[in-house]
């Protein structure tokens, strides 16, 4: 099912590039409605892209922004770990739809959650078959203040470890190498995202973002990307992106 949705999303992107905005809009709205039923925050992304299709047609996109704002707000009010990200998105969408006062009110609410999240350091799972890379990442993470770091040297042990964390209601960040001896990173990511669609996955690879396996995994829902060789600043930036766009 994830592959089918990814193919539809790729098709919508192709339509957008070719200025076939009506066709792209219809696909994106169908995907959005599906994800809204599952209360997946991807729905908001689809709605925002659909609004862009409307703009390219010379039409008013207020309706799509308003729908996205209300959807994000509904998720935010559940008062769980989705709230910081959802409140911020709701505020931006209300602003885009011209509801300035509502946007300001929601923005103030989001600040309360952001201050709490910044103080939290989630568990980190480093998945890499290279002891040298694992050691470097563990050292960098320690310098960045992460003291709950777990490691896995292959895909199978990673799936076992991360599945256990998910079942224990923990919310890890996964640093995932794309090239491993038993199961490739894209296959590991797919299995994990099937269990927890909003899992935070940071890809680590020597390949470019345009590489098919990397591109596919990003489309499935990974939150950030680090290209080898990397520095501690590259890692920090990826973690910051993951926390700022936190949806789980």
Judge whether 178 and 203 are in contact, CB under 8 Å: yes
160 to 42, 58, 138, 179: CA distances (angstroms): 26, 50, 20, 18
93 to 29, 166, 225: CA distances (angstroms): 16, 31, 26
Which of 240, 208, 236, 210 minimizes the C-alpha distance to 223? 240
Position 115 scores a pLDDT of 46
- Average pLDDT of the segment spanning 41-70: 88
Judge whether 93 and 45 are in contact, CB under 8 Å: no
Tens digits of per-residue pLDDT, 171-216? 899 999 888 888 888 888 888 888 888 888 888 887 665 566 666 6
pLDDT band at 243 (very low <50, low <70, confident <90, very high): confident
Q: Mind listing the domains of the chain with CATH numbers? A: 2-118 (1.25.40.10), 121-240 (3.40.50.2300)
Q: Cα-flanking dihedrals φ and ψ of residue 79, to 5°?
A: 60, 45
> Is the pTM here over 0.85, yes or no?
no
**80 vs 44 pLDDT, higher one:** 44
């Amino acid at each position: 099912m994830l592959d089918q949705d990814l193919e539809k999303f790729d098709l919508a992107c192709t339509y957008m590039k070719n200025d076939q905005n009506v066709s792209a809009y219809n696909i994106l709205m169908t995907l959005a409605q599906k994800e809204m039923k599952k209360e997946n925050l991807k729905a908001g992304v689809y709605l925002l892209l659909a609004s862009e299709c409307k703009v390219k047609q010379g039409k008013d996109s207020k309706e799509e922004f308003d729908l996205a704002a209300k959807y994000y707000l509904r998720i935010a009010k559940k008062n769980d770990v989705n709230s910081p990200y959802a409140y911020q998105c709701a505020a931006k969408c209300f602003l885009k739809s011209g509801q300035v006062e509502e946007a300001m009110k929601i923005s103030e609410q989001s600040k309360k959650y952001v201050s709490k999240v910044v103080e939290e350091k989630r568990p980190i799972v480093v998945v890499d078959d290279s002891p040298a890379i694992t050691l470097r990442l563990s050292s960098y993470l320690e310098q960045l203040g992460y003291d709950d770091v777990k490691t896995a040297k292959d895909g199978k042990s990673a799936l076992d470890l991360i599945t256990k964390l998910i079942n224990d209601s923990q919310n890890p960040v996964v640093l995932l190498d794309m090239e491993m001896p038993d199961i490739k990173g894209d296959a590991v990511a797919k299995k994990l995202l099937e269990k927890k669609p909003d899992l935070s996955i940071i890809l680590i690879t020597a390949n470019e973002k345009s590489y098919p396996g990397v591109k596919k995994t990003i489309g499935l829902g990974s939150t950030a990307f680090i290209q080898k060789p990397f520095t501690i600043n590259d890692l920090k930036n990826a973690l910051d992106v993951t926390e700022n766009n936190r949806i789980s």
